Structure 1
Amino acid sequence: MKLVPFVKYTSCGNNFVIVDATEQLLLSEAEMSRFAFQATSTCFGVGCDNLLVIQRCTAEALKSIADSREYWPTLPDAHQADYLFRMFEPDGKEALCCGNGLMCVASHLFNQHGVSSASILTEIPLETPKVIQIGAGKDKQGGWVNLGHPRRTPAELAVPEHSLSFNSSIDLYPEITIRFREGDLRSAGNTKQLKVKAHLVFTGEPHLVIFPDTDFSIPELADYIFSRSEQWPARDRRESFGTWLVEHIGQYFNTRYKGLFPAGINVNLARQLSSCIIENRCFERGINRETLACGTGALAVAYIYSQINQLSPETIDILPHRCRWHDNQAQIRICRSDNGWSLASVPVMLFDGVYRLLPVNHRALENFAVSPAPLTALKRLTS
């Protein structure tokens, strides 16, 4: 039995179990993938969206990753960052990046180690991980992360020849069909298909951004997706249908369009409320469901909004629709500068504890093997 100290943080409804391995190695690479299930499970573990592991960026740590996972053709430079950001999904696979998770890590480093700003290596599973900056304010609560400049989605995550170029960093899918069963959309004329226009950008994760008011062939569906209890007396019916729509559209993209997005895709449905204030709902590929909020998705929405409307605002506020069911003040502020696009929110440490990681038999371990690089997974899908 191994004892694993952890802290649990939340940011805009995203909950994370953080294992601080900055001073000593607490988990092997295989144990990180296996512990992700216990960390995220509400039945057999702690309960959260993702497991985060923070490590010092050292040659030893990078070599340990390279020895266990088929990520990099050459070992990254250990001197380029202070820390490593690791995020694991419930199935043990390592994810690329997470805005809210990084803000929680920034708050933890400040609260626990007095680190007000640092460089951190993200997108670990890609062939070339990215160095970004994180930090926390003097109030010991606020966290921020500069994710750099949005860019074109790597080819191993999206097949480029099926899209049009909107600009140097954005791919445009002018018409994608989402199909429904007969009767699913009876409130919108009983059609069995919805045509969608979507913009794709990479902000540490691949994100499709859709504004249903203008990008749906049935724009009236937007009112269901962004319905509010004070607007509609039949609250449960409209909100339930809107949530079902988000889930159906997100799952349809991730099951029926594997040819376009072989590693899965995050789907954001957004609505402009006023100038530089946008509401967002995000279906995350890693957990295969809608999340309460998404930092990299918030940045993708803000960036697409500014590019479509040819704006250069210094700040854009993203309101996470699902999180605001529980906290009507929740927001993620996006700040634009020459140095990149930053996120800011108010992460909160919920509690700390120690998890007893029990040994398991070999067959159980097979379900939580270390994850291959996205490019390796793509080759397997297409071979």
Structure 2
Amino acid sequence: MKLVPFVKYTSCGNNFVIVDETEHSQLSEADMSRFAFQATNTSFGVGCDNLLVIQRCTPEVLTSIAEDRGYWPVLPNADQADYLFRMFEPDGEEALCCGNGLLCVAGHLLNRHGISAASILTEVPLAQPKVIQIGAQSDPFGGWVNLGHPRRTPNELALGGQEIPYSQTIDLYSQISIQFRAGDLRNVSGSPELQMKAHLVFTGEPHLVIFPDTDFSIPELADYIFSPSESWPVKDRRESFGTWLVEHIGQYLNHHYQAQFPAGINVNLARRQSDGVIENRCFERGINRETLACGTGALAVAYVYRHFNQSNSGNIDILPHRCRWHDDQARIRIHLNDAGWSLSSHPVMLFDGVYRLLADQPVGDPMMAISMSDDGVIT
């Protein structure tokens, strides 16, 4: 049995269990993948979106990852970053990057170690991981992550598309077809098919960006997707239809377009509210459902928007639609400077605890559940 100390953070409705391995290494590579289920599971675990692991960027750590995971043809340079950002999905697979997760890590480094800025290696599973800068302060937008400059999606994550002539970073998919059952769209259209165009950009994760008001063959569906929840009763058919629509589009793309997106694809549906303010709903490939917010998706939306619109705003505020059902002030601020595109928000620590990870216990076994000790520490 291993006792695994952790801390739980949230940013814009995204919740993360963070295991800090910067001073003491307790989890093997196999443990990280195994613990991901318990970290994310609400019935037999802690409950969160992803497990995050922070490690020192040292030759020893990189060598251990290379031996167990086989990610890299050449070992990355350990001198290029202070830390490693590792993110694991519920099934134990390692993901690439996460804006809100990085914001939470920045908050944790400040709160636990007094570190206000650091370099961190992300996109660890790719052949060439990326170094970015993160930091935190105490003001309302004190957490920040500079993700650098968006770029064209790597070939191992996306095929096909049609490069936009004026951009080396965005691919245009101009003829995406989403099929529905007969009658699914009867309130807005007699057709069982939705045609749309989408723009693909890589911001640490591959993201399709779609503006339904202009990119849908049935633009009326945009009003269902972006109906404000406070305007409708909880069980209102219009709100539930909009949520179902987002889920159907995301799942259809991930199931029927595997030839184009062999590793899955994140789908962002966005609507401009005013100059420099855009609303967004994001379907995440790793969890196969809509998430309350997405930092790399927010950046993708802002980046595509800037390519097609002249904006007078120095910042772009992305309003995470689902998160704002619960927190109407939630937003992710995007800022462009010479060093790249930065995200800022306000991560919040929820609690810390210790998990009893039983050796060689099968994933999902209820014996791996947590309990609360008398002093309030989760064990």
TM-score of the alignment, normalized to the shorter chain, above 0.5: yes
The one-letter code sitting in structure 1 at the alignment partner of 2:171 is D
Q: Distance in 1 between matches of 2:247 and 2:6?
A: 31
The one-letter code sitting in structure 1 at the alignment partner of 2:164 is S
Quote the residue 2:78 is aligned against: 78
Q: Distance in 1 between matches of 2:331 and 2:140?
A: 18
Shift of 1:233: 6.6
Q: Distance in 1 between matches of 2:154 and 2:312?
A: 25
Q: Distance in 1 between matches of 2:349 and 2:203?
A: 25
* Corresponding residue SS for 2:228: coil
> How many residues are treated as equivalent by the alignment?
364
Cα distance, 1:151–1:8 mapped onto 2, change above 3 Å: same
Cα distance, 1:3–1:230 mapped onto 2, change above 3 Å: closer
What TM-score, normalized to structure 2?
0.93
Quote the residue 2:163 is aligned against: 164
What TM-score, normalized to structure 1?
0.92
Q: Does 1:179 align with 2:179?
A: yes
Q: Does 1:21 align with 2:21?
A: yes
Q: Does 1:351 align with 2:351?
A: yes
Partner deviation per Cα, 1:147-203 (whole Å, 9 max, x = no partner) = 0000000000000x3433351100001110000000100111231000011000000
Quote the residue 1:325 is aligned against: 325
Shift of 1:235: 6.3
Quote the residue 2:7 is aligned against: 7
Quote the residue 1:192 is aligned against: 192
The one-letter code sitting in structure 2 at the alignment partner of 1:163 is Q
Shift of 1:329: 0.3
Q: Which runs of 5+ in 2 are unaligned?
A: 366-379
Quote the residue 1:120 is aligned against: 120
Kept in 2: contact 1:11–1:346 (CA 8 A):
yes
The one-letter code sitting in structure 1 at the alignment partner of 2:131 is V
Shift of 1:277: 0.2
Partner deviation per Cα, 1:311-362 (whole Å, 9 max, x = no partner) = 474210000000000000000000111110000000000000000001235x
The one-letter code sitting in structure 2 at the alignment partner of 1:6 is F
Q: Distance in 1 between matches of 2:279 and 2:268?
A: 10
Quote the residue 1:276 is aligned against: 276
Q: Does 1:287 align with 2:287?
A: yes
The one-letter code sitting in structure 2 at the alignment partner of 1:209 is V
Quote the residue 1:142 is aligned against: 142
Q: Does 1:307 align with 2:307?
A: yes
Partner deviation per Cα, 1:23-74 (whole Å, 9 max, x = no partner) = 0111000000000000000011000000000000000000000000020001
Cα distance, 1:60–1:230 mapped onto 2, change above 3 Å: closer
Cα distance, 1:365–1:231 mapped onto 2, change above 3 Å: closer
Equivalent residues in 2 for 1:16-165, closer than 5 Å: 16-139=16-139, 142-159=142-159, 161-165=160-164
Kept in 2: contact 1:153–1:206 (CA 8 A):
yes
Q: Which runs of 5+ in 1 are unaligned?
A: 368-383
Kept in 2: contact 1:229–1:235 (CA 8 A):
no
Kept in 2: contact 1:141–1:348 (CA 8 A):
no
